Chain A
Amino acid sequence: MADDGRTFDAAATEAVLSGKAAERDLLRFLTCGSVDDGKSTLIGRVLYDSKLIFEDQLKTLERDSKARGNAGGALDLSLLVDGLQAEREQGITIDVAWRHFTTDRRKFIVADTPGHEQYTRNMATGASNADLAVLLVDARKGVLVQTRRHATIARLMGLRHVVVAINKMDLVGYDRATYEAIRDDFVAFAREIDLPEPVCIPVSALMGDNVVNRGDGMPWYDGPALLPFLEEVDVVQTSTQTPFRLPVQWVNRPNLDFRGYCGTLASGRVRPGDRIVVNPSGRETTVARVVDFNGDRAEAIAGESITLTLADEVDVARGDLLSPADARPQVADQMAAHIIWMGEDPMLPERSYLLKIGHTTVPAQITEIKYRLDVNTHSKLAAKHLDLNEVAFCNLSLARPVPFDPYEENRGTGGFILIDRTTHQTVGCGMISFGLRRASNIHWQALEVDKAARAHQKHQKPCVLWFTGLSGAGKSTVANLVEKRLMAMGHHSYLLDGDNVRHGLNRDLGFTAEDRVENVRRVAEVSSLFVDAGLIVLVSFISPFRAERRLAREKVAAGEFLEVFVDAPLEVCEQRDVKGLYKKARAGEIKNFTGIDSDYEPPEAPELHLRTDQAEPDELADQVIQALRARGLLRE
């Protein structure tokens, strides 16, 4: 990696290994800009002018430049940066690519992210680990909608340093007034969105001006060139100044004498003797030792992965957050946060997702979309759901309280990801603004007559029989027969029927995906109340989505929920068409009809699978009764 004139002798190498160069720190930055702003060319230029290109890479570059370069056969430096075959073929960058280079001052890791609006999620991903963003602007075009979008996302992701590289200055005759107009325009926008003061550098990635070297195109510019600036900028994490936070990642118990709590310090510093609190339990203790591979240490600081032992035998588990006793995190099960949606399927309020924050994973719902943020104009819009790459400010409700800090105060403890419970894809990320106190103000009223007492009075064990399946599969027919048998046996039951409930409790709901989720959520709540009342509840609902059926299952205790898949092929249901609905749906008179233009997700592991095209309803009802009996839910 030496430049042309230099060779490394033993002494120079020794310096690399043990001397000042080994003390180099690390700067992670993100580059963003649209396809034709010259982002790849800029990075290519940095590498090329810093003599960081190997001979074999240069040969490949020369060959590729002739074959498919966009520089008319001359070296196309952007080809140094392009990655996967798929994107080569499309001529665009489709994902985040990481580049590494090292100068005498610093090691750099560059997250190269694409500029199109549909890649907002990739930019957010790259930004989440970056210390700084380099935002490209085409000098001929000035500050565009997408420039504002990138600045907005950089702001959301909490980047404290933004460099605007005003590129292609060669194409505007290195004109000073053009540069200044763009700079002023951007600075004004940055103030509007509360972005830290940006540094604006006029560059030509193609010609090399102000990238690594000053060049002679712009003598009027007296600021630093890009790379020298990146080598100098002080991004030392303010995180050592923020209060101590250790998310407990793993409990290390190799033998009876050692019990260590492992994790990476999200912020602050910790020493033996520090008074600390385990969150969310709130138990206090003292740090006994700070340990690593080589033994005891006097101190650990933000960013280090270490192990602590504690003076007292307090209960600490993975997912807990250790903090100083006098600077605790918030603990809440409801919070407000910015969410960037990354899933192909839309985010639906009230749907249950998994939220991972630190080392805790909890079920969570978005209870309300306060507003959607238009990342292009920074305006606030109403929204009922979120599509891929959309950003919104939302209220969330978690299945249990978690410790956290506002993201603005601590990037290490204020961010979370959302995971789809069925596909396991990462479908969103969130930055917490503040905790909501609502839950702690509505206290649960403990009642003296409880579920067990009510069930005992009826001489039965309450449960939910959840019949799901396509319209016309025979849910209500079978459910009816089951309830008649239960009645004959002297049991107390209630049948919640999809159609009937929509005439009353749910008459304000339609058939969009959002409304279907809410429809099932309400019925899940009602069935859970009825179980609490000691009843055997039969629910006959299409309930097409797995996520909502899982939500219903989680509303009651383990063993109290039986999912009954009432199954018949779509053709059979459509042929039966008891209510004439399929005909209307096929004619386009009904929208969002399950099986026709809306999906049905069949259960993966139902307690009962009834094939109504292969058996008579009476036989199937008997099967249900037998299943209840086998589980000890019926009186003998």
Chain B
Amino acid sequence: MSSADRLTHLQRLEAESIHIIREVVAEFRKPVMLYSIGKDSSVMLHLARKAFAPGPLPFPLMHIDTTWKFREMIAFRDQTARDLGLDLLIHTNPDGLRDGVGPITHGSGVHTDVMKTQALKQALTRYGFDAAFGGARRDEEASRAKERVFSFRTATHQWDPRNQRPELWSIYNARIQTGESIRAFPLSNWTELDVWQYIHQEDIPVVPLYFAKPRPVIQHNGMWVMVDDDRLPIPEGAAPEMKSVRFRTLGCYPLTGAVASTATTVAEVVAEMLNSRTSERAGRAIDHDQAGSMELKKRDGYF
């Protein structure tokens, strides 16, 4: 059999993701794509553009802005929206804003709950979206490994891992009652390496923070944290150091640990990753709060 009869793993993953994205658009009344600005979102956005070419995206993107994202992320977000002519919605939890909720004053648990989980629920309810695309991958974390591609949520956005619909072949059950919704995960079967290989193959732009550069960092909660603005408290006598660092994942800057690195290209990033000895989410503060913490957050509506 000739090799033309065989798809590479990236071709197969790409085709499956496009299939999922088209199915959601065909079956749901009002879909939205949750855009978190990270590399997975960049890949998901690229796949969606492929799914509907030569037409435009038939849904808006939405960013839940906690007000604590890296400034470079926000600049990249706005640039991407302009370049691609995207319909981008931005939502910040007004209650959290009023109460001044932040990761430094309130801790990562409260901050994530109020500014991400609650904010997301508010936004979904406010716009009446019945399907929301997310860039989560099953290889990220144990509870995600069991998530369905079409993940069913009650009218109050709850997830019940014991009551998930079986998913057979690529036939997705899209039936919901009024008020209920689904989260759809087109990247379910991708790994971190697949994502980088695909970014390389397709030349997809990503936030420059993924590549190493001398950046001002200090030790904070046992991580190297970048001093992105003056809201980060600098302890008496300490001063930010300039270190060549990059980020494996991107979130709120005080909660995202930098890794020492000299990788300035996708190839170098992948080389470091292949040689690395820690898994991707180890740099995220929120997964370590307690055992099974991601599962608890997800039941409550976290992406």
Chain A residues at the B interface, C-beta cutoff of 8 Å: 1-2, 7-10, 12-14, 16-18, 22-26, 54-57, 82-86, 88, 94-100, 102, 106-107, 109, 121-122, 124-125, 128-129, 236-237, 240, 249-250, 252-255, 258, 260, 262-264, 291-293, 301, 303-305, 307, 318, 342, 354, 356-359, 411-412, 415-417, 419, 424-426, 429
Contacts and interface: CB of A to CB of B under 8 A. Distances in A.
A304 B173 contact: no
Interface residues of B, number: 73
Given A83-B142, A124-B168, A304 B8 contact: no
Contact of A292 (B50, B176, B274): B50
Contacts of B55: 252-255, 258
Nearest to A97: B145
Interface in B131-160: 138-139, 142-143, 145-146
15 contacts: A8-B271, A16-B274, A23-B3, A25-B9, A26-B9, A54-B279, A82-B142, A84-B161, A121-B166, A122-B166, A129-B169, A250-B22, A301-B7, A342-B166, A411-B169
8 closest Cβ pairs, A-B complex? A254-B55, A55-B277, A424-B175, A13-B271, A305-B18, A26-B9, A293-B50, A128-B168
A429 B168 contact: yes
A417 B197 contact: no
Nearest to A127: B168
Contacts of A96: 146
B165 A426 contact: yes
B265 to A, nearest CB: 9
A1 B143 CA distance: 22
B173 A419 contact: yes
Contacts of A260: 54
Interface in B53-102: 53-56
Interface string B13-38: 11110110011011000000000000
B295 interface: yes
Interface in B206-238: none
A253 B51 CA distance: 13
Contacts of B173: 356, 417, 419, 424-426
B286 interface: no
Contacts of B171: 356-358, 415-417
A625 to B, nearest CB: 32
A95 B5 CA distance: 33
B26 A359 contact: yes
Of the listed residues B175, B193, B295, the one surrounded by the most CB atoms of chain A closer than 10 A to its CB is B175
B122 interface: no
Given A10-B268, A95-B164, A292-B50, A250 B175 contact: no
A61 to B, nearest CB: 12
B197 A16 contact: yes
Contacts of B142: 82-84
Given A249-B22, A250-B26, A100 B12 contact: no
B278 interface: yes
